[in-house]
Amino acid sequence: MIYRLTVFCLFLLPSYLLFADITGEILQAKNKVFPALVHVQPIKEIFSSGDKRKVQVTGSGIIISADGYVVTNNHVAEQARFVRCTLSSKIELDAEVVGLDAWTDLAVLKLDLAGAGLKSVPFVKLGDSDQLEVGQIVLALGSPLGLSRSLSMGVVSSIDRYFDDMGEMTSPFNLWIQTDAAINPGNSGGPLVNLDGQVIGINARAFMFGENLGFAIPSNNVDYVVKQIIKTGEVERSWIGIEWQEIKEYRKYKKDESLNGVLIASVEKNSPAEKAGLKPGYLVKTINGKPVTALYQEELPPLRLLIANLPVNSMIAFNVKTDDGDRKFKLVTDKQGKFSGNEFHCDAWGFSVEELTPRIKKIFQLESDNGVLISGVRRGGPADESDIRRGHILLKIDEEEIINLDDFKQKYQAMKENPARDHLLYLRFINRNWFALIKGTAL
Amino acid sequence: MSRLVFILIFILTCIQYLIGENWRKAITAVEDKIVLIEFYEQHGSMESIEEKSRIKRFLSGVIVSKDGLVLTSSSIFKPSLEFSGSSSFHFSDNKLSEIKVKLKDGTSLDAEFVGKDDDKNVGFVKIKNTSDLPVLKFSENEKLDIGDPLLIIQQLGENYDRELIVTKRLINARQEKPNPAFLCEDKISTGIKFGIALDEDYEVIGILIDDHSLISIGEGSVLSSGGLLKIMPYSQFRDLIANPPVYNKKESTRKKWLGVYMQPFTIDMAKYFGNDSIRGVLLNTIIKDSPAEKAGLQSGDVIMAINNVKVDAKTNNDLDVFREVIRSQQDSMITIDIFRDGKILPVSVQLAETPISQFLADEVTNSKLGFSVKELTQDIIIAKQLDFETEGVWVSKVEQAGWADVAGLVIGDLILKINETGAENLKVVEEIFDHINNSKPDYIQLFIKRNGDTRFLYVKTNYKMEEE
C-alpha cells in the first residue's frame, strides 16, 4: 500500500522536481559509502608454467568496521603475498588477508591502521538484500580497469539470477543480483549500493562481450560469510556429496503436479550420502523434518545452504520418496573439501605441484586421494625433458607412494640432499600412466 | 678441352634419347592399367540423424587382377576401422556406393569397395562382372637407394582430361620406420595423391601414397605434405594384393592387438634399474581385459624380445616399429621376453584382434526423439576419459532443435537409464524405443552421465503435432 502510494505521489510531482530529487538521493547515498571505499592492489605470487612469478592486480573493496575489516572478492585477494590499499581519502596503507572463501568468491582483509597512524576508519553497514526489487536504482562503486573512486549507476535487472557450475567461477550457494550499472574488471569486490547508502551487494562478475550485464553477490550471503571469516578465518561447511535437481519437469514426467521435494541428480563416490544408501532419482521431501522443495533451479542455492551451513559432523535425517515407497535415511555430514589446493614449487625438477582437492579429483575422475597434481612445468627443465606435463598426477617416486602434498614436500626435500641420484617418477594422466626419469646432476 | 665438350654432348644426347624416346614407351606400357575411380563420399553429421550431404570424389587406381581388383589409396574410405586415441566423427560408416571405374578407353564399369589397410595407406575396389582386364605388373628392386632416379606416373585433373603426367624424381631420402618407403622432392601437385613409380628399367616398383603422417604437425614431422612425395615399394603391399583386406562392418579385417600403452626405454632408465644392457619397450599402462592383462603383463615391464627377436625402443618412432611388429603378426600366439624386478622372464601372449572404432559400432536411432546411441568402443572410452571397464551406450547423434536437443541432451552423454529401465546395451535400448514409439508418452526421462556427474533430463514429446 505504501509502495502504491509512493508511486502515485511521484506521478504528481513535476518532472524537473523528480530529477532534482534523484540527483539528491544519489549524492546522499554516495556520500555515505564513498569514504569507506577501498582501492585494493594485491601483489600475488602465482605459479605459472612451473615457475613462481609475481603479479600486481587491481580490485575494489569496502570497509565494514571502524577497526578496518574490508570485504572484497576471493579472486582479488587469493594468492596475495602483500596487499596495498588506498582509501578514498587517498591515504595508503597495508592490509593482511584474514580469510578467503572461493565458494562464494568473498574475502576479508584487515587494514593496518596502526601502521598508517590511524585510530579508526569510516565504514558502512550491509543492507538487507532480501528487500531488493527489480527496477530499483543502484550504484556501483570501485576501480573499473584501475580507475579508482569511480561511480556508475543503474537499476537492479534481476534479483535471482542462477548460474550453473562454471568451473573456476562456480557459485553453488548464492543467486546473483544482476544490474545494468557499468561493471568492469577492477570493480571486483566493490559495493553495489541502494539509494539509502546501504551496501546490498558485492560486485563480482561481468559478462565478456555483454553490455551492462554486471552481477553482485547479495549482501545477506556476504554477511554470513564475512562473520564466519572474521570469527575463524574460514568458512567451514558441511558436505554430503549430493547434486540436487529441480523438479519442474519431473512433476510432468510423473504426471503429478502436486509433487513436492527435490530430486537427487548425482551422488558422489565414497560420500556420506552414498554410504547412507541415497541414490540418484530419489525425491527428498524433508530434511531434518523441514519440508523442502525446489521447483525451479533458482531454489537450489538456499537448499544447498541449508546443508552447508550445518556444523560439520551434524546428523541429518531425510524423508525420501523412492519408486519402492517412502523411506527414511540418516547420515552424518563431512567437512567440505578445499576449493583450491596449496601449491609447491620444485625448482630443481622444474615443476610445481598442487594438492588434490575434491574438485580436482572430480575433474580428473580420480578414485584415490593419493598423489599430487603437476600444476605447471618449466620449459626446458628436467621434468619437461622427461615429458612430464601439466595435469599429470604424480603417484610414486622410486616405488614409494606419494600420499599428499606434505608427504611429497618431505620426500622432495630429502631427495634434494643427494642431487646426484636419479629418480623414477610414476605419473597418471586420465587412464594412462607415464614413467619419467629425473636425472641426477653430476657434482 | 674439346674432348670434354665431346663427352658432354654425348651424355646430353644420350639423356635426350633415353628420356625423350622411352617416357612414351613407359606410358604405353602402363596406361591401360591406370583407371579413374569415381565415387560419392557420404558425410555424416552429428547434428542430423539422416545423412544428407554427399560429395563426389575422384581417385586414381591401378588394375592388379584380371577379374578387376583395383589398388588405390586408403583415403577412398576415411573412417578408421580400428580404435585409436583420436578419430574424426564427420565421416559416415556407410559402405561406399555408386563406385564407377573408368578405363583408358572411356568405358565406365560398376565397382564395389573391398577394404583398406590404414597402416599401409592402400585401399581396394573391385570391378563387377569382369574377367579379362590388363593387369599392372609390379616388380621388386632391392637395389634402389638415395640418388637413384624414379619415374612417377600420375593422372592429371579434370581440366586436363585425366591425361597421364610423367615426372622424373630422385630418391632424396629413405624412410625405414615403421614401414620402409622412399621420399622424393615434390614440385608438381596433381591433386590426386596416387600414382605409380618406375625405376630406370621402367619396371613398376611401387606406388605413391597419401601418408597422413606427413601432414601431422608435431615435433620432428614435416609441416605439410607439400614438398615430399612418398613411395611405398612393392614388397610392402604385395601380400595385400594377393589377400586384400575386407571391409564388412564388424567383420572387417583387423590387425593383432596386445592392449598396452608404452614408452621408449632409455639407456638412462636401464642404468636406473642397475642393468645397462637392458633394451626394450617400457609398458606404462595395461588396458583392462586386453591380451596383455590376460597374460599377466604389468605396468613397468620392459619387453625385450618378441618370438626371440630383440626389440629396442629409444624413440617414439621405434615404438611405431614395435606396434607394427605386433599388428602384423600372423600367428596370434607369441612369446615375449620381459624384464621385471631385475629378472628376465618369458611370457606367452595370445594376441586378439584390434578392437573396432566407433565407426563400426552398431547404432540405434529414434528419429522422433531425435537422437542416436551407439555401443561403447575403446576409442570413445579413451576420448571420454572413462574407465576401461565402463559399459553402456553413448549418444552419438542429436538432431538439431529436435526433442532431445531441446531437453539438453548432448553428444557424448552416457545414457544410464531411459525412463525407469537401465540402458545396458543396444538391444535393451531398441526395446525401450519400440515401447516409447507405441505408447507415445508426453515426457521421457533420461538418466545420463556427463563429465563424471549424473543427472536427469526430461524430453518433452509432441507426437500429436508430428501427426498433424
In three-state form (DSSP H/G/I as H, E/B as E, the rest C), the secondary structure along A251-282 is: HHHCCCCCCCCEEEEEECCCCHHHHHCCCCCC
Cell of A384: 619437461
- The nearest alpha carbon in chain B to A249 belongs to B458
- The DSSP result for A222-257, as a single string, is HHHHHHHHHHHSS---EE--EEEE--HHHHHHTT-T
Mean pLDDT to the nearest integer, B54-63: 90
Query: Contact A151/A29 with Cβ under 8 angstroms?
Result: no
Q: Is B205 among the domain residues?
A: no
To test the contact with chain A by mutation, choose from B316, B386, B436, B455 the residue with the greatest count of A C-beta atoms within 10 A, namely B455
Q: Say which of B268, B388, B455 has its CB closest to residue A439.
A: B268
Same domain, B434 and B347: no
Q: Is A179 helix (H, G, I), strand (E, B) or coil?
A: strand
Burial class (CB in 10 A: 0-12, 13-18, 19+), A82: middle
| CA distances in angstroms from B156 to A130, A235, B333, listed in the order given | 76, 73, 47
Buried b (16+ CB within 10 A) or exposed e, B433-448: beebeeeeeebbbbbb
Three-state SS for A287?
strand
B266 touches chain A (CB under 8 A): yes
Would B330 be classed as within a structural domain? yes
Query: From A398, which residue of chain B is nearest by alpha-carbon distance?
Result: B272
pLDDT at B345 over 50: yes
Contact of B443 with B459, CB cutoff 8 Å: yes
Q: Any catalytic annotation for residue A158?
A: no
Assess whether A65 carries a catalytic annotation. Answer: no
Report the CATH number at residue B77: 2.40.10.10
Residue ending a domain, choose from B81, B105, B127: B127
Closest CA to A218 of A203, A206, A201: A201
**Alpha-carbon distance B450 to nearest alpha carbon in chain A (angstroms):** 11
Q: For B147, left (φ over 0), alpha (ψ -120 to 50), or beta?
A: left
Amino acid sitting at position A71:
V
pLDDT per residue rounded down to tens, chain A (443 residues): 444 444 444 444 455 555 567 899 999 999 999 999 999 999 998 888 878 889 999 999 999 999 999 999 999 999 999 999 999 999 999 999 999 999 999 999 999 999 999 999 999 999 999 999 999 999 999 999 999 999 999 999 999 999 887 666 678 999 999 999 999 999 999 999 999 999 999 999 888 788 899 999 999 999 999 999 999 999 999 999 999 999 999 999 999 999 999 999 999 988 999 999 999 999 999 999 999 999 999 999 999 999 999 999 999 999 999 989 999 999 999 999 888 888 999 999 999 999 999 888 888 878 788 999 999 999 999 999 999 999 999 999 999 999 999 999 999 999 988 889 999 999 998 888 999 999 988 65
CB contact under 8 Å between B454 and A424, yes or no, is: no
Same-domain status, B394 and B344: no
Residues 6+ away with beta carbon under 8 Å from B301: B282, B283, B338, B339, B340
- A interface with B, Cβ–Cβ below 8 Å: 243, 245, 249-250, 252-253, 255, 263, 265-267, 280-281, 323, 362-363, 365, 387, 422, 424, 430-435, 437, 439
Which residue of B266, B271, B284 is in closest CB contact with A433? B284
Which entry of A39, A60, A65, A75 is annotated as an active-site residue?
Answer: A75
Tell me what the pLDDT averaged over chain B comes to: 87
Contact at CB, A243 and B443, closer than 8 angstroms:
no
Do B285 and A431 count as a contact with CB atoms less than 8 A apart? yes
Predicted confidence at residue B218, as pLDDT, reads 38
Q: Which residues of B touch A439 (CB under 8 A)?
A: 268
> What is the total residue count of chain B?
468
Quote the cell numbers at residue A323.
519408486
Indicate whether B382 and B301 sit together in one domain: no
B86 — contact with chain A (CB < 8 Å)?
A: no
B271 in a domain, yes or no? yes
Co-location of B382 and B308 in the same domain:
no
pLDDT over 80 at B51, yes or no: no
What's the pLDDT at B211?
62
Residue B38 belongs to some domain of the structure? yes
Task: Kindly list the residues from chain A whose CB atom is less than 8 angstroms away from the CB atom of residue B269.
Answer: 424, 435, 437
Indicate which CATH number applies to the domain containing B445: 2.30.42.10
CA of B285 to nearest chain A CA: how many angstroms apart?
A: 5
User: Do the chains contact at A365 and B385, CB–CB below 8 Å?
Assistant: yes
SS3 A367: coil
The answer to whether residues B304 and B388 belong to one domain is no
Do B319 and B415 share a domain, yes or no? no
Interface test with B, best of A266, A282, A322, A421 (most B CBs within 10 A): A266
B467 versus B345: the higher-pLDDT residue is: B345
Is residue B291 within 8 A of residue B352, CB to CB? The reply is yes
Q: Is residue B26 part of a domain?
A: no
Same domain, B78 and B120: yes
Size of interface A-B (CB pairs under 8 A): 76
Cβ-based contacts of B261 with chain A (< 8 Å): 432-433
Q: What share of chain A is helix, strand, coil (3-state, %, to 5)?
A: 25, 35, 40
Helix (H) or strand (E) holding B151: strand B149-155
Output the DSSP codes for B390-423.
Answer: --SEEEEEE-TTSHHHHTT--TTPEEEEETTEE-
B97 close to A (CB below 8 A): no
Are B303 and B337 part of one and the same domain? Answer: yes
Let me know: does A407 contact A382? Beta carbons within 8 Å. Answer: no
Which residues in chain B have Cβ-Cβ distances shorter than 8 Å to A281?
447, 456
- In this complex, the residue of B272, B445, B456 whose CB is nearest that of residue A422 is B272
Q: Which residue in the list A148, A171, A188, A386 is annotated as catalytic? A: A188
Determine whether the interchain pair A431/B388 forms a contact, defined as Cβ–Cβ distance below 8 Å.
yes
- pLDDT given for residue B83 in this prediction: 80
Predicted local distance difference test score (pLDDT) of residue B18: 54
Q: Spell out a b/e string for B189-199, using b for 16 or more CB atoms within 10 Å of the CB, else e.
A: ebebbbbbbbb
Question: Which residues have a Cβ under 8 Å from the Cβ of B4 and sit 6 or more positions away?
Answer: none
State the Cα–Cα distance between residues A89 and B411, nearest whole angstrom. Answer: 56
Test the A interface: residue of B285, B298, B378, B454 with most A CBs within 10 Å: B454
Domain that holds residue B442: 361-467
Note whether B365 and B345 are same-domain residues.
no
For residue A9, what pLDDT is reported? 41
B300 touching chain A per CB within 8 A: yes
CB contact under 8 A, A422 and B268: yes
Contact A60, A72 (CB under 8 A): yes
Residues B397 and B365 placed together within one structural domain of the fold = yes
Contacting B residues, span 439-458, partner chain A, CB-CB under 8 Å: 442-445, 447, 452-456, 458
pLDDT tens string B395-430: 999 999 999 999 999 998 999 999 999 999 999 999
Q: Which of A188, A218, A169 lies closest to A40 in space, CA to CA?
A: A188
Please state, in angstroms and rounded to a whole number, the distance separating the CA atoms of residues B51 and B41: 11
* Minimum-distance CB partner of A252 among B268, B443, B447: B443
Run of H or E residues at B352: strand B352-353
Q: Which candidate from A263, A363, A434 shows the least CB-CB separation from B456?
A: A263
Within-domain flag for B284: yes
Measured CA to CA, the distance from residue B210 to residue B74 in angstroms comes to 8
Distance (Å) from the alpha carbon of B433 to chain A's nearest alpha carbon = 17
- Assess whether A188 carries a catalytic annotation: yes
Residue A437 to residue B263, Cβ atoms within 8 A: no
Domain count, chain B: 3
Task: Please give the torsion angle defined by the CA atoms of residues A72, A75, A81 and A84, in that order, rounded to the nearest 10 degrees.
Answer: -40
**Of the ranges A51-55, B6-10, B310-314, which one carries the lowest mean pLDDT score?**
B6-10
Q: Which residue, among A267, A432, A441, would best test binding to B if mutated, counting the most B CBs under 10 Å from its CB?
A: A432
Specify the pLDDT at position A11: 47
Residue from the list A265, A387, A433 with its beta carbon closest to the beta carbon of B454: A265
Residues of B in Cβ contact (< 8 Å) with A432: 261, 284-285
Q: Evaluate whether residue B313 is within a structural domain.
A: yes
- State yes or no: pLDDT of B90 exceeds 70: no
In a domain, B59, yes or no: yes
Residue B85 has pLDDT above 80, yes or no: no
Residue A156 sits at the vertex; the CA angle it makes with A180 and A308, to the nearest 5 degrees, is: 110
Q: Would you say B409 and B418 are in contact if contact means Cβ atoms under 8 Å apart?
A: no
B420 touches chain A (CB under 8 A): yes
Question: Does B369 lie in the same domain as B348?
Answer: no
CA–CA separation, A69 vs A108, rounded Å?
7
Length of chain A: 443
Question: Are B423 and B440 part of one and the same domain?
Answer: yes
pLDDT of amino acid B21: 53
Which of A105, A157, A171, A219 is an active site residue?
A105
Contact B460 A252 (CB under 8 A): yes
Cβ atoms of A95 and A122 closer than 8 Å:
no
Domains of chain A, with CATH numbers? 32-236 (2.40.10.120), 238-335 (2.30.42.10), 343-438 (2.30.42.10)
Chain A residues within an 8 Å CB radius of B285: 431-433
In angstroms, the CA B146 to CA B182 distance is 8
Residue of A nearest to B282 (CA): A435
CA atoms within 13 A on the CB side of B232: 23
Q: What is the ipTM of this complex?
A: 0.86
Q: CB atoms < 10 A from the CB of B318, how many?
A: 18
Q: Of B353, B371, B403, which closes a domain?
A: B353
Decide which of B308, B333, B353 is a domain's last residue.
Answer: B353
Closest CA to B90 of B48, B45, B49: B45
